[in-house]
Structures are given as C-alpha cells and as structure tokens.
Amino acid sequence: MKTNLSQPDRDDDHIKKKIRKLLPSSQQKDNKVIEDLLEEHRKRKFFENLNNGYRQFKADMQNDPDLRKQVEEEQRLWDNTLLDGLED
C-alpha cells in the first residue's frame, strides 16, 4: 500500500486524538510528539539491527573456525596495545 504524505488521510484525526490522549495536559505540538515517537522508533530499530548482527556474528564464529581464529588473533593484537607504555 502506497501512502501519499502530502495528502491528508482519513485516519489523521484518529491519530491526532491518540496523540492528544497520550499527552492530554502537555503543551507539546503534535509534530513534536510525532518527531519524538519517530526518534524512539529509529533508536529501537537501530538496536534491533545491532543485536541481530551480533547474533549472526556469534553464529558465524561458531560455524567457521577460520573466522574464529582471525577474530581471536585480532583481539590478541588489541589486547597487547592496552598496556603500551604503562608500567606495572
């Protein structure tokens, strides 16, 4: 279903009522509420994608010994840098 954002939808009033119900005593503008909700949605999607990618990475590491070796070697290299220039 294609949505035309420039043309009002019959659900606009319904959506505006829901927004006002969420924040009945607020002086926030409807657009600000929508902007905040969109930002929350963007953040949620970002972390969902991040978590899915990490789960896939972990699965790949379990199934691919060469990848696991490569990652472990890179981790060892980075671990060595943690103490560069520091005395015991």
Q: Is residue 24 part of a domain?
A: no
Q: Tell me the residue range of the domain where 33 lies.
A: 29-80
Q: State the pTM of this model.
A: 0.58
Provide the pLDDT for residue 59: 96
From first to last of its 88 residues, the chain has per-residue pLDDT tens of 455 555 556 678 888 787 777 776 666 677 788 888 899 999 999 999 999 999 999 999 999 999 999 999 999 888 878 766 666 5
Is 36 domain-assigned?
yes
Count of domains for the chain: 1
Q: How far apart are CA 9 and CA 43, in angstroms?
A: 26
Is 42 within a domain?
yes
CB 67 within 8 A of CB 61: yes
CA dihedral over 52, 54, 56, 62, signed as positive or negative: negative
1 lies in some domain: no
User: 30 with 19: CB under 8 angstroms?
Assistant: yes
- 22 lies in some domain: no
